[in-house]
Amino acid sequence: MLTKINNTNTNFQGIKVQTLKTPLRQIDIYSLNKRDQDFIDRMLNVVKGHQMPSDRFTISDGSSRKVYDTALNKAKALELDDNDKVLLAVENNKKITGLMSIKERGDIEVDGLTTFDSDKTTLKSLFTAAINETKKLKNFALIIPEEKLPENMRRVVREFGFRIPKLHYNRDMVIECEDLQAVSQKLNSDVKLPNARRFTDLSELFSD
């Protein structure tokens, strides 16, 4: 099923927002919007009738399939400069490895996240991108609502700077706006941010 996702010659004009490099891998994060509708429809169609890969890092009030379908359908309606984002992780310029949706709701909330095959590098890449995008907005916190966060993920997201604030009335995990800069600096050691926002045509990367 993942081979079908990654073998598409459909035009993709995603915006690269960051690159994370390790000795063996490069994970690029792209922001999807309505310009990418053909590519998104292709991604939605190829998973019909297939089981999604297992993922112990899913953040959702449902399944990884719900994250995948909901985020991609949402992206088809997004404008370029919306604060809501759908972020796509691509490994070594050829393989889709994860997807994340964030939305503005007073602050910025993680609406859903899934990696394919419980990929920790993709998880770090997506969270770093979400933190950097939130930091740009000024005076916004980044929140994971408690109803979407499985218990097994609470320890994991602490690695990325999330905490339960003091005097908080629920168990949401939060990076407060005043902490985003410090958290971003810590996570960005392996990350390269583009000098300018450019559209990237990935159609050749996802072709046979």
- Regions in the chain scoring below 50 on pLDDT: 1-10, 196, 201-208
- What is the structure's pLDDT at 183? 94
- What is the structure's pLDDT at 189? 76
- What is the structure's pLDDT at 84? 96
CATH number, position 47: 3.40.630.30
Dump pLDDT digits (tens) for 47-69.
Answer: 887 778 778 899 998 888 999 99
Kindly state whether residue 165 falls inside one of the protein's structural domains.
yes
- Domain that residue 17 falls in: 2-190
- What is the structure's pLDDT at 202? 45
Kindly state whether residue 138 falls inside one of the protein's structural domains.
yes
Give 20's contacts (C-beta < 8 A, 6+ positions apart). Answer: 26, 27, 29, 121, 124, 125, 128, 190, 191, 192
Kindly state whether residue 200 falls inside one of the protein's structural domains.
no
How many folded domains does the chain comprise? 1
Kindly state whether residue 197 falls inside one of the protein's structural domains.
no
Kindly state whether residue 205 falls inside one of the protein's structural domains.
no
Kindly state whether residue 185 falls inside one of the protein's structural domains.
yes
Kindly state whether residue 170 falls inside one of the protein's structural domains.
yes
CA distances from 159 to 62, 123, 124, 173, 187 (A): 23, 11, 9, 12, 10
Kindly state whether residue 15 falls inside one of the protein's structural domains.
yes
